[in-house]
Chain A
């Protein structure tokens, strides 16, 4: 999909069925800087099933994790960069992610996503099992992320079509109906 489509979808990524644990999104701050780039700071609230073993280590019944996300959209250079890190009441495991969306250099109708994640475990030395679990989750989340955007893009397209169809509906013209179905 072209970069503009992907960027628009990324700004409206939640809710989507691939990320059911994201329960809240808020914009904390937003401004356009002197270079024309849009900076947004957002807070994401997530609820995910924390395994009992982690709960017993953490010793808390708070299950919400918050993620702080800073995104920069440059409409001239056509780049979108997202940096996010989780903030939680325990600060035991922190995950920093960086995503960059750019138009594909050879195929302008496509977008390239580069994604990296840094997992840090502080304090208690957690078993490598848990670290492995997080790494797997992150790489499957990367795939989910692409699927999620695909879902949002389809939804946005469906909304546009619905709007166009209802606008055409007032004409009651069989030609228009055929054109819409033919796609």
Chain B
């Protein structure tokens, strides 16, 4: 499955593999502590955010990368 940003597809695949394994083997069995995919996610996220800005996709009400409230930039 591709990413919305073509350049992000490989990063996405790596993250997805990590997440799917953690989800089925740990999270669903009740061991949600510790997320081994944090680093992969951050790298993938940076790429996706850039792609969304470039494509001007209107995403509403989301805080990227954790709690960073009050950072709404009304650009252009």
Find B3's partner among A7, A24, A68, A89 (CB 8 Å cutoff): A24
Per-residue interface assignment for chain B, residues 3 to 24, with 1 indicating a CB less than 8 Å from any chain A CB and 0 otherwise: 1110010001001100110011
The answer to whether B8 touches A8 (Cβ under 8 A) is no
The answer to whether A24 touches B24 (Cβ under 8 A) is no
CB of A67, distance to nearest CB on chain B (Å) = 11
* Chain B contacts for A4, CB-based, 8 A: 24, 28
* Chain B contacts for A36, CB-based, 8 A: 32
* Chain B contacts for A8, CB-based, 8 A: 20, 23-24, 28
| CA distance in complex: A15, B2 (Å) | 9
* Chain B contacts for A23, CB-based, 8 A: 2
Per-residue interface assignment for chain A, residues 54 to 91, with 1 indicating a CB less than 8 Å from any chain B CB and 0 otherwise: 00000000000010100001011000000000010100
| CA distance in complex: A40, B35 (Å) | 14
* Chain B contacts for A12, CB-based, 8 A: 16, 20
The answer to whether A68 touches B60 (Cβ under 8 A) is yes
Asked, given contacts A11-B23, A73-B27, A76-B30, whether A29 binds B1 with beta carbons under 8 Å apart, the answer is no
Known: A27-B45, A28-B45. 15 other contacts (CB 8 A): A8-B24, A12-B16, A22-B1, A24-B1, A24-B2, A26-B48, A27-B19, A28-B59, A29-B63, A32-B27, A38-B27, A41-B62, A43-B57, A68-B59, A75-B32
